[in-house]
Structures are given as C-alpha cells and as structure tokens.
Amino acid sequence: MAEQSCEVEQLGKKVTSSDVAKHAGVSQATVSMVLNKKYNVSFSREVIERVEHSAEELGYELPKRKQKRESRREKLLVVFCPNLTNPYYVMLLQGIESRATEQGYGLFVCNTQRSLVLEEQYLKMLSSLNPRGVIYTCNPSRCYLEMIEELSKTIPFAIINNQNEKLEVDAVELDNSKLGRIMARHLLDLGHKKVAYIAPPLTVRQKQRSKRVEGFLKEFSEAGLANGVVIKSANESIDQDVPGIDSEYRIGYDLTKEVLEEHGDVTAIVGLNDMIAFGILDALYDEKYKVPNDMSVMGCDNTLFSKMRKLSLTTIEHFVIYKGRDACDIIMKKIKSADQKYGEIQPISIYHVEYEPQLVARGTTSYPPGKKTKINAKKKNINKY
C-alpha cells in the first residue's frame, strides 16, 4: 500500500507514518490501514490501540480529505441480514429491493450469519460505503445498539424488529408474542391439550424467538394448560456455526424425532417458523404419522412453500414483503426530509409501522385424534331425537 504522504510538524521535526510504525512496532501498511479505518483486514484490538496511541503520542494526524459532494453520493442502501437460507429474509429483501429499484437505488446486502464479528465489520465499513440509508432485517446485536444510534444521527436507519426492543431509531415492528398467542389459540380451539413447540436456540441475543414462545405458553397457561406444552429448542452451539441451507429444517426434523420418543402423547407440533415446520412434517412422514389425522403441524411466516398443495401448511401471515417495502419507504422519507431543509432546524421524526398478524388455516391442523369422531357421534345422537 502506498505510503501516507501527509506529515505534520511537531517540536521542529516532521512526524511521518514511518515514525508511527516504528514506535508501534508494526508495518507502515498496518499504520495506514488502521488510521484510515480500513477494516477489510482484521486487526486485534491490541494492535489498533497501539497504533492509535503511538500516533497520538507523536502528534501524527492524517490529512483532511475533501468531503464528497452530496450530489455525487451513490444511490446505495445497505441491508443487514442474519442469514439468507430462510425464505423469510429473502421475502424481506424482495420487498426492500422492489421499492428501492422504483426509486433508482441499489442494494448492498451484508449477510452477518448471526456473527458478532461480521456484524461489527460491516458496521465499520459503512463510512467507506457511504450509503444513503441502512436497513436491518432483524434486531441488531445488543452490544452494537449504542453504535447504531450514533450512526443513525448521520445515516437514516430502519429496523424490522421485535416490538419489545427499545430503540431510538425508525422501526417496522413485529409483536412476536402476539404471533405465539395466535398459534396457541388456533390449537386450543381445535381441542389440543398436549402440544410440542420446536425452536432454534432460545438465547438472549435472539430475543424475538423467546417472545414468540412466551406468547404461545401464555395462551396455554391462561387456558389452564400450562403443563401441556413441551418446549424443544436446539443447542446454543448451532448459532455459532455458519447456517447451512437446511439448518432450520434439520432443527425441525431432529427435534421432532426426540419429541416422539420422549412425549408420545402430544397431538400437535409447532415450528417457530415455516422452515422448522417443513422438517417436522418430514420427520412425521418418516415415522409413518399421518398429518393432520395423527398429528397436527403448524408453522409461521406464510412463506412460498407453505402454500404448495402437497404441503398446505397452517401458518401465520404477518405481511413480510410489505414490511420490506415499508422499511425502504421510511429511508426514502428520511432522505427527502434531509434534502429539503426546513429552515434552520432539521426536524426529527421516528416512524413506527406494525401489521396485525393473521392465521392462515390450511390442511396440516385438525382436531386431536379421536375428538372429531366423538363430535360426529354426538351429532348423530342429536339427530336421532
């Protein structure tokens, strides 16, 4: 990398990047990348602090660069996704891209793979990407909330998040607790009293998952059936691996096998999302269970595959594509507001959008085994009289 040409005067001599490198015990290229915030190469925190401390001690400063004219700024939006293996996130991207394309904007997608290191790396890249706006398709990691709120003062942010997270940024919200309650109410209305709920790891970082489970449990608890719910969540180590194309499907498949071995009296199995529900269905098929006659199955998100006739999965619609469009619309409103000055004081506005989730009852849920027969028998007896 070319040597930094900038030099400053200190105590009668010129201090160069070479001096900083020698003082910090690193290469000149490392000094250049660290001080210019080039995070495409990873440096340990110790190296970064050593370089920055040396530069400060020697009085070395980078040259002031000319600010890019706003008119030449790229029409670019950055989108953070936790993974691209779940159709849910692909649907969100579809909604964002459709609206961005209409406005002449391109997307730069950051697939964090639920890694804190990758998320931090992408956040630090924002200054070099110079986007007009940033969209998170899930809750940001808690350790970066302060950084995001600071960045949002200069770059419009919109987050498609869990309603219970308190963020001082624009949000398209989702009440995951309500989703869980709707799922539970559907099964309770059908007469299910012993059910299993299968989920990915229920960690603090993934609070939205726990909220969905909590809503489900609360509905059963209020019906006096708190002990009728079996919660099966995957091991926490799964979130530490790079998600495979079938990660969530495998969670549904493997944990269903465990449920069948340990709790033979359940009459319905719920997946936290559609991908998990597909794994549940295949596991039941392999174990010779008929759906919904022997076991009811339910998912959430109403993804494309859930609508296929052979699957016909009962699920929850919460208008994923619309949320993507709304997040993009929020960014566009912020950009327009910043471009059209309102006197000397810039207005501050926080947008919040929320859709009411709806049950989509299809062919994978029915009465518990034997109940439908009893109901039909009662009707026949009534008809006799």
| Whole-number pLDDT of residue 162 | 63
| Whole-number pLDDT of residue 33 | 80
pLDDT digits (tens, 9 = 90+) for 327-366: 999 999 888 877 766 555 555 556 778 889 999 999 999 9
| Whole-prediction pTM | 0.73
Which amino acid type is present at position 255?
Answer: L
Domains and CATH numbers, the chain: 8-58 (1.10.260.40), 73-175+320-340+348-356 (3.40.50.2300), 176-317+359-369 (3.40.50.2300)
| Whole-number pLDDT of residue 340 | 67
Sheet containing 157-162, strands listed edge to edge, beginning at the edge strand earlier in sequence? 106-111, 76-81, 133-136, 157-162, 170-174, 352-354
Distance CA 24, CA 46 (A): 11
What is the DSSP pairing of strand 157-162 with strand 315-317?
Answer: unpaired
Q: Within 13 Å and on the Cβ side, how many CA atoms surround 329?
A: 11
| Whole-number pLDDT of residue 68 | 46
| Whole-number pLDDT of residue 65 | 56
Q: Which residues of the chain, if any, have pLDDT below 70?
A: 1-13, 38-42, 63-73, 162-167, 204-205, 239-244, 340-350, 372-385
| Whole-number pLDDT of residue 9 | 42
Handedness of CA 246, 252, 255, 256 (dihedral sign): negative
